[in-house]
Amino acid sequence: MPINVLMLNPPYFPHFSKNSRSPAVSKGGCVYYPIWLGYATGALELDGHHVKLVDATATPITMDQVKHLAKEFNPKMIMMHTVTSSVVNDAKVAHQLKEILPHATIVMVGPHVSAVPHNTLEIAPAVDIIARKEYDLTAMDIAKWIEHGKDVEKLKDIKGISYRDPKSKVALHTPDREDVPADFLDKLPFASEVWAKHLKIEDYFYPSVLYPEVTIITGRGCPFRCTFCDWPQNFTGHNFRSRSVKNIVDEFEWIKNNLPQVKDIMIEDDTFTLDKKRVREIAEEVIRRNLKVTWTVNARCDVDFETLQWMKKAGCRLVCVGVESSTQEILNNIKKGTNVQKIEQFFDDTKKAGVLVHACFMMGNRGETKETIAKTVEFAKKVNPDTVQFFPIMVYPGTEAFEWAKTNGFLTTQKWDEWLLEDGTHNTIVSTDKLSAKELVDACDDARRSFYMRPRFIAEKIWEGITTPSEFPRLLKSGKTFFKYLFNTKEKVSLGSLREDGNAPVSA
C-alpha cells in the first residue's frame, strides 16, 4: 500500500543554496533547486507513493510551519537532504520532527552523510537511516520496506544504507549500491515536471542564467579527478551515465510547451560537454524540432570551437566553467587536467562562437600564495568572462582536498557548523602556511570588487541591459543582492563560534 513521504530541504538560512557544489548563501542571490530530492521525488511517485516536496530555504518556511505541515501530512517516511555546512542544523530539525512524528522513519541523504555516515548517526540520534550516494533507487527500496512492516532484520538487504543495530545501537553499513544505470534515468519523471507540481519556479534563481529558469540533469557522474570536487568523490561517482538524446530533448519540448514563463534551462551536469558526439546529437535534435529554447550548461575549459558552434545554433546561451587558477602548478596540484593555454583558447573560442561564460575561481588550493592570487585576478580581467565567481577553498570530508588539509594541519576546525560565516556565506576552514583563512576570504571579496567595479565591465552590463531586454530581470535581481555584499567590509565570524555549544540554531 502506498505511503506518505515528506521530501524535505530543511529550514536554515533563507535562500541557502544546499544543492550548490559549495553550499552557502550566495552573494549573487543564487537559489538552487533541490535537484536530488526532486529526482528521488519522481522515483517515489513512479511507485505510486504520495509525496510532498518541501523546500524550506527557498520560500523560506519556518520550523514551526514545517512541523505544522508535517503533522497534517503525517508521513511514514521523511527524507532530508543535508550537506556539511548544514548537518548540525538538520540534525536538530530531525529531532523536532521525531518528537511530533515518533513513528516516522527519518532518512538523511546527501554527499556529506555519504562520506561520514558513522559520524552522522552519532550527531543525529533522531535519524533512523542514512541513504548513501545517489538515492533514487534506495528511496524506493526504503519505502517498500516501510510498506511491508519495517522488519529491521530486512534492512540488511537494502544496498547503500547505514543504520543502527536495534539492540547494540552500533552503526551498520550495507554494501554500496551500484551507480544508478542510464536506462533508469530515462524512466524518471522530468525534473521540470516535479518542479511544476511541487515548487514555485519563481523562487529559484541563478545569477548568470535568464530568469526564471528550471534546472535539470542530463547525465550523472564525472570521470575527472579534481581534488576538491565533492559530488564525484562522495555522491555521483566517476562513471558518466547519460539520459538518451530523445529523452533530454523531450524534456526541452515539455518545458517549452508547459512552462511558458521559463526563459532558460540550466543543465546541472558536472560536465555536460564530456561527450562531444552526444552534445552534437542533442544540438541537432533541438534544431530538427525547431524548439527555439535557451539553455545553459556546466562545462570544462576544453570545449572545442566546432562544439561551441553547434551548442550556440541550438540555443545554448552560456557555459559555466571552473577555471580555479591561472598558475599551472596549482592546476596540476588539484588534478584539473588542463593548462593555461587551453583555458585562454577556450575564452577566445567562446567569444567567436557567441557563447557567454560564467567563470569560477577558487583561492587557497595547494601552492596558493598572495602572488598567485593577484595573478589569477589579473588573468580573470584579461579573459573577461561575462560573470565571475571568486570563492575560498571549501574542503569537504571524503575529498582528496580535505585529506590534504587535514594531513598538513591546515584545518582550523572540524566542527561542521563552522564551514559558514555568521550570515551563511562562504567561510573557509583552511589556513595554510602561506595564507590564513581570513586572508583567503578577504582576497575573494577584494577580487570580486576589483573585477566588477571596472568601468569597462559596468559599461558592458549597462549596454547589455539596454540592448538585450531579456537580460534585464536577471541583472536587476542579482545586482540588488550582490551590491549589498560588494561594499560590506564589516568583519564576520564563523557561525559556530557564535554558539557556546558549537551548534547552529534551527531557523524559527
The domain ranges of the chain are: 4-132+135-173, 203-486
Query: For the chain, what is the radius of gyration of the CA atoms?
Result: 22
Largest distance between two CA atoms of the chain: 68
Instruction: Measure the CA–CA gap between 425 and 492, rounded to whole angstroms.
Output: 10
Which are the contacts of 49, defined by CB distance < 8 A and separation ≥ 6?
2, 3, 4, 5, 143
In degrees rounded to 5, what are phi and psi of residue 442? Answer: -65, -40
Q: Torsion over CA of 81, 86, 89 and 93, rounded to 10 degrees? A: -10
79: Cα separation from own chain's centroid: 18
The pLDDT assigned to 505 comes to: 46
Q: Shortest CA distance to 135 belongs to which of 179, 94, 171, 165?
A: 179
Contact yes or no for 106/34 (Cβ under 8 A): no
Topology match between the domains 4-132+135-173 and 203-486: no
Question: Of 50-54, 70-74, 112-116, 501-505, which range is least confident?
Answer: 501-505
**Percent share of the chain, pLDDT over 70:** 92
Per-residue confidence band for 376, with pLDDT thresholds at 50, 70 and 90: very high
How confident is the model over 223-234, as a mean pLDDT?
Answer: 98
Instruction: Measure the CA–CA gap between 392 and 363, rounded to whole angstroms.
Output: 5
**Which residue has cell 575561481?**
361
Question: Pairing relation of β-strands 50-55 and 77-81?
Answer: unpaired
Edge-first strand listing for the sheet containing 161-164 = 50-55, 4-9, 77-81, 105-109, 129-131, 161-164, 171-173
* 469-484 pLDDT per residue, tens: 666 566 665 555 555 5
pLDDT reading at 409 higher than 60: yes
433: Cα separation from own chain's centroid: 30
How confident is the model over 131-137, as a mean pLDDT?
Answer: 98
Q: Name the CATH superfamily housing domain 4-132+135-173.
A: Cobalamin-binding domain (3.40.50.280)
The pLDDT assigned to 499 comes to: 39
The pLDDT assigned to 348 comes to: 98
The pLDDT assigned to 502 comes to: 38
- The CATH number that domain 203-486 falls under is 3.80.30.20
- 436 or 499: which leads in pLDDT: 436
Give a three-class secondary structure readout of 53-91.
EEECCCCCCCHHHHHHHHHHHCCCEEEEECCHHHHHHHH
Contact yes or no for 4/101 (Cβ under 8 A): no
Per-residue confidence band for 426, with pLDDT thresholds at 50, 70 and 90: confident
Which are the contacts of 483, defined by CB distance < 8 A and separation ≥ 6?
none
pLDDT reading at 202 higher than 90: yes
Fill in the amino acid letter for 238. H
Per-residue confidence band for 503, with pLDDT thresholds at 50, 70 and 90: very low
How confident is the model over 112-121, as a mean pLDDT?
Answer: 98
